[in-house]
Amino acid sequence: MKRILLALSAACAIALAAPRADAKIAALYAVGQGGVQNTGDNTPGLGFELGARVLILDGYVDYTSFGQSESVARGVLGLRGGFGNDVRLVLRAGAGAIREEHGALMGEAYAPPSRTGAVARAGLGIDMRLDPLFYLGFMIDGETFVFPGSQTVAVGNTTVPSTYTQGADLFAALRLTFELGI
């Protein structure tokens, strides 16, 4: 009987002294961000990200404006992991679509006014909890993208691009995240 009481006392002490876990099964989040990229004209950008997460599956749309007319928008589906509680390490990777306006990624000399292509992204960041709903953090996202060229060839009844423009960049951003989750 003493052993059972001792085991129950130990279990209660461990349960009461353990830190609160913050593992969310599902979450919706909105991010305001400002940062710089290593391509284009290097003008600092301001933007936002809206996303949803279920377990480790993550999907988000991202928009960043650089200067007067340059911008980049992305829609990405992938995987995300957050490790930690009050300070968390964030790892993510995914693929999706990208839209560039006025050469935001490669400069206006290399781009038409707007173009749409494919993107693969991976990121690493650190978030610090400000309160139960807000995090302040820093994120670095690397990406590789491809845009169809302006020249096409006929294949059957359709035309397909005969050239492609490829590139890669890094985007470093300070982020304020609002997150609701269960």
Can you give the pLDDT at residue 158? 82
pTM: 0.82
Can you give the pLDDT at residue 163? 83
Say which CATH class 26-181 falls into: mainly beta
24 burial (CB, 10 Å; 0-12 / 13-18 / 19+) is middle
Profile the chain (182 residues) by mean pLDDT over runs of 10 residues: 58 50 84 88 88 97 90 97 93 97 79 88 97 96 91 80 87 96 90
Can you give the pLDDT at residue 146? 94
Task: Report strand pairing: 26-37 vs 45-54.
Answer: antiparallel
Domain map (residue ranges) of the chain:
26-181
Q: Where are any strands of DSSP class E within 106-150?
A: 114-129, 134-148
**Cβ–Cβ under 8 Å, residues 123 and 130:** no
Instruction: Name the residue among 65, 147, 145 with its Cα closest to residue 104.
Output: 65
Query: Distance of CA 50 to CAs 10, 61, 166, Å?
Result: 44, 5, 26
CA 138-24-77 angle, 5° bins: 65
Can you give the pLDDT at residue 10? 55
